[in-house]
Amino acid sequence: MADFVIIGGGGYGAGVAWELARRGADVHLLEAKTIASGASGGLGKRGVRANGRDVRELPLMKRAYDIWPILHEQLEATTGYERSGHLLLLERDNDLAHAKTMRWMQEQQGIPSRWITQEEVRELEPHLTHDIQAAVFCPLDGIADHTATTRGYAQAAARLGALVEENTPVNALEIKNEIVTAVITAAGQRIEVKKQVLLLSNAHVPGFLMQELGINLPVWELLPQVMLTEVVDPMPINHLIGHAHRTLAMKACGRQIMISGGWRGRENPLTGQPETQPDQIEGNRAEATAVYPILAGVGIAEADTSRRELIAVDGIPIIDQLPAASNMIFATGWSGHGWAITPAVVELLADWALTGKRSPLFEPFRYTRFL
Ligand SMILES: Cc1cc2nc3c(=O)[nH]c(=O)nc-3n(C[C@H](O)[C@H](O)[C@H](O)COP(=O)(O)OP(=O)(O)OC[C@H]3O[C@@H](n4cnc5c(N)ncnc54)[C@H](O)[C@@H]3O)c2cc1C
């Protein structure tokens, strides 16, 4: 029995567990495998970026900017957070007008964003191709160690008294009069819910909502690809890098470079297991060397597509509560960019669970926007 039962031990589940526990709440977190075994764990680091983000998420990112630099102190754990700044590179004439407008909009939202000329770009990133015409620079953007932070959240929650249970998948809900009264684990254990359930199991959420409530979410599953190069010495990349038209994101991870940006793995039809695809690895590598020619000949040490992510049809998450389960908050469909805003979202989710009041910042993410 617990006041707050959380399903899923990724960044969101572990983060909300900590936010609730530090306010003295009685919390039970249930994770199907191990903490950070989903999208919030795995190879390299994650981008913590406002630059180029959907306008509806920018207020959350602005709040997250305040939390990231102090989170390691609050959790007494490493977060690997570094404020490297993000450069959105512009290579084509066609992209300049949009980027200028976007920069202005970001400034209005309180996200420091500068227009950087070709000469300035080359000063910041001397190894870039000469084809880069300009960039939008967000100096407050950076990177963080997602695996360490997620584990740090869970450990800090446990120290404050939260019960964190791994290897405990939730299979079903017990619902009476539109209130979730208990969650049922795969082992048949019944865990009574005294106040709220937080369904934060990411890729598991749509199937579970369909099974339990007959609700369809307009989302689909993706296997995003991330790669780490061999050791590169000296490191030619100084910032978190994005690109206006190439499918590319890059960051320095220690002495290796992480390359990603939207290439994908595929599920093996026989085993159901995610697998990397040679054409996707080669495509991502080719984009990276087109932008940083110095990387031609640098090998890929590791590629991974094992972490499932859910994409919403309009590219922003779904964070809501449904009348058929009125004491259950769910959040999913992070659409490949859910990591950066985690500290802000978990704070507001905990507020909502404790007070019953939804933050106005969550308004754009209602499920009803699709109906
Ligand atoms: C490769 C990759 C790169 C990314 N890059 C970035 C980036 O650079 N910047 C950015 O902002 N975002 C990025 N993202 C997105 C971001 O990492 C995710 O949106 C975020 O981590 C999702 O967190 P989560 O807690 O909702 O999900 P998850 O971390 O997937 O956690 C869900 C947890 O629920 C558990 N679970 C599943 N079923 C059950 C069940 N039945 N019972 C109990 N537990 C269950 C799972 O085991 C899992 O641990 C990236 C994602 C991926 C996959």
Is there an atom of ligand 1 within 6 Å of 151 CB? no
Q: Is residue 200 in contact with ligand 1, taking CB distance under 6 Å?
A: yes
Question: For residue 282, what pLDDT is reported?
Answer: 97
**Residue 226 Cβ contacting ligand 1 at under 6 Å:** yes
53 within ligand 1 shell (Cβ under 6 A): no
Ligand 1 pocket residue status of 263, Cβ below 6 Å: no
Domain definitions of the chain by residue range: 2-63+146-218+313-370, 86-139+224-306
Tell me how far the alpha carbon of residue 39 lies from the centroid of ligand 1, in angstroms: 3
For the structural domain made of 86-139+224-306, what CATH number should be given?
3.30.9.10
pLDDT, residue 22, reads: 98
Q: What is the pLDDT of residue 123?
A: 96
242 lines ligand 1 (CB under 6 A): no
Would you say the CATH fold of 86-139+224-306 matches that of 2-63+146-218+313-370?
A: no
- What is the distance between the alpha carbons of residues 241 and 129, in angstroms, rounded to a whole number? 13
DSSP letters spanning 114-162:
EEEEHHHHHHH-TTS-TT--EEEEETT-EEE-HHHHHHHHHHHHHHTT-
Q: Is 359 in the pocket of ligand 1 (CB under 6 A)?
A: no
Identity of the amino acid at 81: Y
Whole-angstrom distance, CA of residue 182 vs CA of residue 174 = 5
Alpha-carbon distance of 2 to 193, in angstroms, equals 6
Question: Which ligand 1 atom is at minimum distance from the Cα of 223?
Answer: 53
Q: Is the CB of 103 under 6 A from ligand 1?
A: no
Q: Is the pTM of this model over 0.95?
A: yes
Atom of ligand 1 nearest to the CA of 249: 8
CA–CA dist 112, 88 (Å, integer): 13
- pLDDT tens for the chain, 371 residues long, are 999 999 999 999 999 999 999 999 999 999 999 999 999 999 999 999 999 999 999 999 999 999 999 999 999 999 999 999 999 999 999 999 999 999 999 999 999 999 999 999 999 999 999 999 999 999 999 999 999 999 999 999 999 999 999 999 999 999 999 999 999 999 999 999 999 999 999 999 999 999 999 999 999 999 999 999 999 999 999 999 999 999 999 999 999 999 999 999 999 999 999 999 999 999 999 999 999 999 999 999 999 999 999 999 999 999 999 999 999 999 999 999 999 999 999 999 999 999 999 999 999 999 999 99
Q: Give pLDDT, residue 16.
A: 98
pLDDT at position 260 is 98
- CA–centroid distance, residue 200 to ligand 1 (Å): 9
Type of residue found at 317: P
**What's the CA gap between 308 and 64, in Å, rounded?**
23
CB neighbour burial string for 6-44, b if at least 16 within 10 angstroms, e if fewer? bbbbbbbbbbbbbbbbbeebbbbbbbbeebbbbbbbbbb
Give 88 Cα–ligand 1 centroid separation in angstroms.
24
Q: What is the pLDDT of residue 196?
A: 98
Q: Which atom of ligand 1 is nearest to the CA of 7?
A: 43
pLDDT given for residue 308 in this prediction:
96
From the CA of 331, give the closest atom in ligand 1.
26
Superfamily holding 2-63+146-218+313-370: FAD/NAD(P)-binding domain (3.50.50.60)
Cα separations in angstroms, 64 against 28, 172, 201, 328, 338: 25, 33, 21, 24, 12
